Structure 1
């Protein structure tokens, strides 16, 4: 079996890959995350750039890069720069549906694959006091859309249409299928 490298420091992606039974090394790509207008193109481009930056140095390995974007209407909600931006994002998500796109790029000597998955998330109505309490935990400050579905942010989620793991940061079933074909 070929060496697997996760080009991300994301604790959520680490958790999902471990849950799927993979052994791997973590080598973060440390690229600048800039987003253009089209959320799908942005997520796919960033996933590929993350994987490629690490794969250039470890070409005999299989490298997985991923990027998750939260989209409200046509606006990408990336990781908030500060508490005020996190607060504004959470206020805008309150009581509304939004979509979460996670793109994945897997580069291997056997080939490359880039894919994505989309899930829809509905937040219940949340008041500003709840938002302030959540922000005090610091959880929203390093997450796209300013919330973690697998953490305290779960209390805001009323419904999910699609793969929970896509919202968490790595579509488990699709990722497993593609990794199996590229790691043999």
Structure 2
């Protein structure tokens, strides 16, 4: 059995990989997520590659998976909020609107580099200022792209998802399972 390493400390990605039945180690890449390419898609793909490659350089005998998730509203990336005020601003912007969630994944194994992505669309219901205040005060949005956790209380803001729920959560389950099954054998 080949060693699988998740180049992320995301609890959501850990949960998804476990749900898919994989055994793995968690070794965060330490890659800064402040890169911005010409497009959100290129940014997500570039960051996913850098995360997996950074860890793979140290563990070349292993298969390494890295991922990056971006929330995009009207072409603008809403990253992880720097503070409570930014989280409130992001949630206000998302209120009552559709946005796009892109998750890019890179799997690097001996002689193989597989880079793929998935896109889902999310519609938020209209959220009141008091709801936003309470949600931000509870702290859930602070380390999440777009300032919400679809698998947490943030789900109460979601009116509709078109696409893979797990892409919004941080790792497209079906595509990831197929790729890892093929690579790991």
Q: How does the TM-score come out when normalised to structure 1?
A: 0.99
1:28 aligns with 2:55: no
Task: Give the SS at the match of 1:2.
Answer: coil
Q: What are the Cα deviations for residues 65-111 of structure 1, in whole angstroms up to 9, with x where unaligned?
A: 00000000010000000000000000000000000000000000141
Shift in Å at residue 122 of structure 1?
0.1
| 1:1-184 superposed matches below 5 A | 1-36=1-36, 37-184=38-185
Using the alignment, how far apart are the partners of 2:138 and 2:171 within structure 1?
24
Using the alignment, how far apart are the partners of 1:35 and 1:72 within structure 2?
17
RMSD between superposed Cα atoms in Å:
0.6
Task: Give the SS at the match of 2:118.
Answer: strand
Shift in Å at residue 181 of structure 1?
1.1
C-alpha contact (below 8 Å) 1:99/1:121 kept by paired residues: yes
Using the alignment, how far apart are the partners of 1:136 and 1:146 within structure 2?
12
Task: Give the SS at the match of 1:45.
Answer: helix
Number of aligned residue pairs: give it. Answer: 184
Using the alignment, how far apart are the partners of 2:182 and 2:96 within structure 1?
41
The gaps in structure 2 that reach 5 residues or longer are none
Task: Give the SS at the match of 2:82.
Answer: coil
Q: What are the Cα deviations for residues 36-62 of structure 1, in whole angstroms up to 9, with x where unaligned?
A: 241000000000000000000000100
C-alpha contact (below 8 Å) 1:110/1:182 kept by paired residues: no
Using the alignment, how far apart are the partners of 1:35 and 1:29 within structure 2?
15
110 and 2 in structure 1: CA distance in 2 versus 1, 3 angstrom threshold: farther
Using the alignment, how far apart are the partners of 1:32 and 1:10 within structure 2?
14
